[in-house]
A and B are shown apart, each in its own frame.
Chain A
């Protein structure tokens, strides 16, 4: 039996220095946020050591050499000078000097184009841009047209709302998403892309880096401030009071019926938005008269809340709640019951009383209480569904807007199940849409057929009345790749359970107060923002980790190829990738090549020369020309974005065609769709970001 030996490598990063707390913290932050990059270097070191071990004559020297390399890499990673002003990120966050920024960018851009986008320089700018746009695909998401937004302002750029929604329901790691953006790991097949601008003339290389930092894009990350919330929670004596079922001190406090969804939504609506509130009531009727016996309109802080069929509620709760024996419940329930009993006698003018009640939510602590509450809540939900909101004439259009927005998802799914004709919704596929409102689910889950039908009926009525407003304002649909590209593989699967854990009767505890939004600031520091840390400036030697950098180094190729190989082996995204590529732009020779880990197997140089795409060349020409006509820089950039959007549309057409076609020939394709052959690489890459199924054609 052979004995296997184990090797261990320990790496010590400078120890804690009391005097230099700030630096220490910065490095610590940098270390943990850039851990994936550190790990890649450790992997590299590890494999060198393995090789050295088997070749034990040179064991120590080899290791020392590898260690030296490791140290240099890490030093570079931390110490290299960054681009002071990555254009895209700066513009994105700038509010005041935007015009100046645009002007500066356009000036540089036109200067470069005029100077170097000609025959003598082998149309360097358009070739470089074609390559960069093909490899660093994060720009695609930034030109994908947004769905309608209720905002009135025509912004030249919109922030994507679906990201927020996604973050709420499916928490993901924005830092990681940003890293993927930067490395262009957006499409299918998944690539990691970098760009190196090589050249002896520092100022020209720097200009190119500056311009490219507009096209190599990523999302911007923000950090919430962290006031001492947790300290309060941990030390707050309120815990004793609000949580303990037996304490009497809260008799005076409003009790809480956790169950009734409508109540909760009232509560919500008063604090944040009307969405929840209205979305739960599915019906709007402009003309229906409130039936005073059954339907009350509930006004809460001027917001129209769903009115409830109270008589049913009344009938229901009394018989069931009386026999409850639990101590806690006895104490908390009687006032509630009396309140409810009284309600049906209220004239409408006193309705606000009810709304106060509904804000008070009785927390049921015991199992038997829970039973009541479940049925109660069902009852309530049904009531809500069947009841109608009374909408007065003078109401703000906003409410309607919210209504139509939050209803959409719900309506369509309900309508489908009950075979009612679904109204066509322009342009939005609901199924792919991240739901905009959090309130809808409760209604959907009532999959009781009867309810659904009742609802559908109501919906139809509401359609009838509100039809002009029935329109989907929801967010743009998330592309399948978009969803997965935000989240790491591991957070999608394994910890989402199939079945539900069996529950013991848990005590319900109120959510602690959320982090206040008092401070959300943009992370400018490079230690926690890849957008700031991985776009490097000009350096005298080749650098391994950076998405973009310039160098005067002439002898970088072996290292670059080596890097590509190890990137494929140990992906910095911690997910398998298909290919690692690097765009090499040589400003001395005016050549643009793309080195790829895949090509390395075929040819030793690993590089393919790139050619300019017609679409990109046209784009550049048109932007520069209109800028020469003295159109404002801002408009020129808007035009540039519009033209990029055209590329997106074209890629859509292409993917539409390819999914329909069984076979195709390149020639046929270009003649039929009006693309040049030179555009194909770009369009296919872009199509890969929204139609993952196309990868088979890519290899063809």
Chain B
């Protein structure tokens, strides 16, 4: 709690005085990001500052000028020369108790509170809690009380314990806690003092003594205390360690009051992407990667339905000794790369880009082959953003072809060739990055026979593309050439000189469905709209991915965990979630990307007995 607890005393000679003061010190507020200074740990500062003070003549060096001179003090209004400190390492707080706060501003506040608490702001009966304060000087809960002392005027002395806070509401909210606990401390002091008082009184009753004594102003004080004007709290309570006790008690109150009420705040579940990351994380800790393989083919609803009842149809998990990408990273860090999705679109041309993204989002295998590893990797990385993380199974670099059930993104060495069965039966698209003919004679173009067929369907979109690019990307050679030009590397020459030597060839035996899935259409729209910065595009992708993953979740629950469903119902469901027929394939593929945690949770929730009737 950001409060200061202080013990004050109304001294017979000097009036209201601060006796003792316990304050917490915590690290400074974290600096806003961007400031270069590393946050320093205040406990450390505190510790080291302890040593910074020269040992000799500590007294004079330490007591600041604003504190009253020795003449104004007596034992009654002194507490400790040497303070106490405790470090709470867990919370990074140090509690320091000293006679007075040494910060002038704080001192003024406490002093003000002290005076008010022992003069004007007094509870009826002069013993008990009271609240006063304002926003300037802070808010104060003051508990005044008497401690018996045979030597004192009226046989008792008047003290107060203050809790000073700037936060009024917090202070008042804590009242029901603070008051009883202050009472405990006070009662303990009173009990100790009562013991001494009774003993002294038994030895030498004060009352008759005082009645007899001839009192005049000059000898009034001397008569009672002997040579001493007033006795210290230690003496009155007969406890040498009374201030240590107070230190511990006050700091306990501060700490306990701060942690008395805790709150529980719920937050949303982590995104599927985060969970996937965590799941991958767990695997790699062992030094391998587990690849979650799920059936990609046969991914139509009917098939899924037939599987629905097989509880826990866990896909076989395959563990591949995963070669760290480490070595690869080193050599070509500064080499060519496709930086972002717009860059890729420029490099590929709009139509090819769209076709390629279409392949990506419906789960066809993407094979990127080329000599430049970094370039291959960057292309894959950019394409990955189109998919939820759970759907990305990547082998960034391989010397031989890997089956599509192992990866849907494959970086392939150009020396490798595709096996025959792959060429004939698999759903894949091959992107070859080759040096331009003029620059290298050996371009391993085995597949440049079939070119992307989808350019035809995009005619209507083409119109918008032309519009936008004529508006915003006039520096680039005419947009019409995108579609016709097959050696696409030429296009980006001015902007991306790095890549000018390369050609991107795309080929695929797979014919794409005529219609682009809804989500992809929206993504492409965002990419096409040059008014949007890359950050916005990224945010839009996140939105869309999450939105569609939510549909996928519903579908998953519906088909896998909901018992038998009729065709009719399924259709209805698709309609409800706002999916059209062209989205079906995508939904089925994305379903493979659901995290294991989610699947298990859903399947468990709908296990027999839990099924909604």
Chain A residues engaging chain B, CB cutoff 8 angstroms: 28-29, 32-33, 35-36, 92, 99, 141-150, 152-160, 163-164, 167-178, 219-224, 226, 229-231, 233-235, 239-240, 243-244, 258, 264, 268, 367-368, 370-371, 374, 377, 397, 400-401, 413, 417, 426-427, 429, 431-432, 438, 441-442, 444-445, 447, 464, 467-469, 471, 473, 476, 488, 490-497, 499-512, 514-515, 520, 523, 528, 574, 618, 621-622, 625-626, 629-635, 638-639, 641-643, 645-646, 648-650, 652-653, 656-657, 660, 668, 672-674
List the B side residues contacting A145 at CB < 8 Å.
Answer: 267-271, 274
B38–A447 touching, CB < 8 Å: yes
- Complex CA–CA separation, A613 to B522 (angstroms): 21
A268–B89 touching, CB < 8 Å: yes
Known contacts A146-B269, A506-B98; is-contact A167 B259 (Cβ 8 Å): yes
Give the residue name and chain of the B residue nearest to A646 (CB).
B547
List the A side residues contacting B253 at CB < 8 Å.
Answer: 230
Binds A, one of B175-183, B361-369, B456-464: B175-183
The smallest C-beta distance from B337 to any residue of chain A, in angstroms, reads 14
- Complex CA–CA separation, A582 to B87 (angstroms): 47
Known contacts A504-B58, A504-B98; is-contact A491 B88 (Cβ 8 Å): no
The smallest C-beta distance from B409 to any residue of chain A, in angstroms, reads 18
- Complex CA–CA separation, A623 to B358 (angstroms): 30
B87–A629 touching, CB < 8 Å: no
List the A side residues contacting B275 at CB < 8 Å.
Answer: 148, 154
A226–B260 touching, CB < 8 Å: yes
A229–B252 touching, CB < 8 Å: yes
A selection of 7 A-B contacts at a CB cut-off of 8 Å is A150-B278, A159-B265, A163-B265, A177-B263, A220-B263, A500-B42, A504-B98
By CB atoms of chain A within 10 A, which of B47, B62, B188, B529 has the most?
B47
List the A side residues contacting B98 at CB < 8 Å.
Answer: 501, 504, 506
Contact of A268 among B90, B165, B612 (CB under 8 A): B90
B90–A168 touching, CB < 8 Å: yes
Contact of B41 among A176, A441, A618 (CB under 8 A): A441
Give the residue name and chain of the B residue nearest to A88 (CB).
B266
- Given A219-B266, A468-B285, 5 more contacts at CB 8 Å? A221-B262, A222-B263, A233-B252, A494-B166, A643-B550
The smallest C-beta distance from B605 to any residue of chain A, in angstroms, reads 6
- Complex CA–CA separation, A438 to B261 (angstroms): 21
Does B476 sit at the interface, judged by CB under 8 A? no
Contact of B605 among A174, A634, A639, A641 (CB under 8 A): A634
Give the residue name and chain of the B residue nearest to A375 (CB).
B51
- Complex CA–CA separation, A634 to B602 (angstroms): 10
List the A side residues contacting B64 at CB < 8 Å.
Answer: 502
Interface string of B291-330 (1 = CB under 8 A from A): 0000000000000000000000000000000001010000
B51–A374 touching, CB < 8 Å: yes
* Closest A-B pairs by Cβ, 5 of them: A431-B33, A468-B284, A171-B258, A632-B612, A174-B263
By CB atoms of chain A within 10 A, which of B49, B84, B167, B188 has the most?
B167
List the B side residues contacting A653 at CB < 8 Å.
Answer: 536, 539-540, 542-543
Does B405 sit at the interface, judged by CB under 8 A? no
The smallest C-beta distance from B265 to any residue of chain A, in angstroms, reads 4
Give the residue name and chain of the B residue nearest to A435 (CB).
B30
The smallest C-beta distance from B538 to any residue of chain A, in angstroms, reads 8
Binds A, one of B148-156, B241-249, B418-426: B241-249
The smallest C-beta distance from A417 to any residue of chain B, in angstroms, reads 7
By CB atoms of chain A within 10 A, which of B84, B269, B606 has the most?
B269
| Interface of chain B residues 559 through 613 with chain A (CB within 8 A) | 562, 569, 572-573, 576-578, 595, 597-598, 600-602, 605-606, 610-612
B48–A374 touching, CB < 8 Å: yes
B168–A178 touching, CB < 8 Å: no
- Complex CA–CA separation, A642 to B602 (angstroms): 14
A635–B175 touching, CB < 8 Å: no
Known contacts A629-B573, A641-B268; is-contact A173 B167 (Cβ 8 Å): yes
The smallest C-beta distance from B28 to any residue of chain A, in angstroms, reads 6
- Complex CA–CA separation, A144 to B266 (angstroms): 9
- Complex CA–CA separation, A374 to B247 (angstroms): 24
List the B side residues contacting A158 at CB < 8 Å.
Answer: 266-270
- Complex CA–CA separation, A653 to B457 (angstroms): 30
Does B453 sit at the interface, judged by CB under 8 A? no
Does B102 sit at the interface, judged by CB under 8 A? yes
Does B122 sit at the interface, judged by CB under 8 A? no
Known contacts A427-B274, A445-B40, A626-B573; is-contact A500 B522 (Cβ 8 Å): no
- Complex CA–CA separation, A521 to B424 (angstroms): 66
A660–B533 touching, CB < 8 Å: yes
B612–A175 touching, CB < 8 Å: no
Contact of A506 among B28, B82, B265 (CB under 8 A): B82
A169–B92 touching, CB < 8 Å: yes
B89–A221 touching, CB < 8 Å: no
The smallest C-beta distance from A456 to any residue of chain B, in angstroms, reads 13
B82–A505 touching, CB < 8 Å: yes
- Complex CA–CA separation, A653 to B540 (angstroms): 6
The smallest C-beta distance from A683 to any residue of chain B, in angstroms, reads 11
- Complex CA–CA separation, A512 to B324 (angstroms): 50
A233–B249 touching, CB < 8 Å: yes
By CB atoms of chain B within 10 A, which of A224, A523, A635, A652 has the most?
A635
List the A side residues contacting B249 at CB < 8 Å.
Answer: 230, 233-234
List the B side residues contacting A264 at CB < 8 Å.
Answer: 89
Does B67 sit at the interface, judged by CB under 8 A? no
| Interface of chain B residues 87 through 105 with chain A (CB within 8 A) | 87-92, 96-98, 101-103
B550–A509 touching, CB < 8 Å: no
A144–B268 touching, CB < 8 Å: yes
Interface string of B219-252 (1 = CB under 8 A from A): 0000000000000000000000100110111011
B82–A500 touching, CB < 8 Å: no
Give the residue name and chain of the B residue nearest to A140 (CB).
B268
B176–A444 touching, CB < 8 Å: no
Known contacts A226-B260, A512-B248, A632-B606; is-contact A504 B53 (Cβ 8 Å): yes
Does B485 sit at the interface, judged by CB under 8 A? no
Does B86 sit at the interface, judged by CB under 8 A? yes
List the A side residues contacting B39 at CB < 8 Å.
Answer: 441, 444
B166–A490 touching, CB < 8 Å: yes
B577–A622 touching, CB < 8 Å: yes
- Complex CA–CA separation, A157 to B270 (angstroms): 9
List the B side residues contacting A494 at CB < 8 Å.
Answer: 166
Does B204 sit at the interface, judged by CB under 8 A? no
B41–A652 touching, CB < 8 Å: no
Does B169 sit at the interface, judged by CB under 8 A? yes
B269–A157 touching, CB < 8 Å: yes
A222–B264 touching, CB < 8 Å: yes
Known contacts A35-B172, A233-B248, A491-B2; is-contact A504 B81 (Cβ 8 Å): yes
A147–B270 touching, CB < 8 Å: yes
Known contacts A171-B258, A427-B274, A629-B572; is-contact A160 B29 (Cβ 8 Å): no
A148–B540 touching, CB < 8 Å: no
Does B509 sit at the interface, judged by CB under 8 A? no
The smallest C-beta distance from B55 to any residue of chain A, in angstroms, reads 5
Contact of A234 among B29, B172, B177, B188 (CB under 8 A): B188
Does B524 sit at the interface, judged by CB under 8 A? no
Give the residue name and chain of the A residue nearest to B546 (CB).
A649
- Complex CA–CA separation, A522 to B175 (angstroms): 19
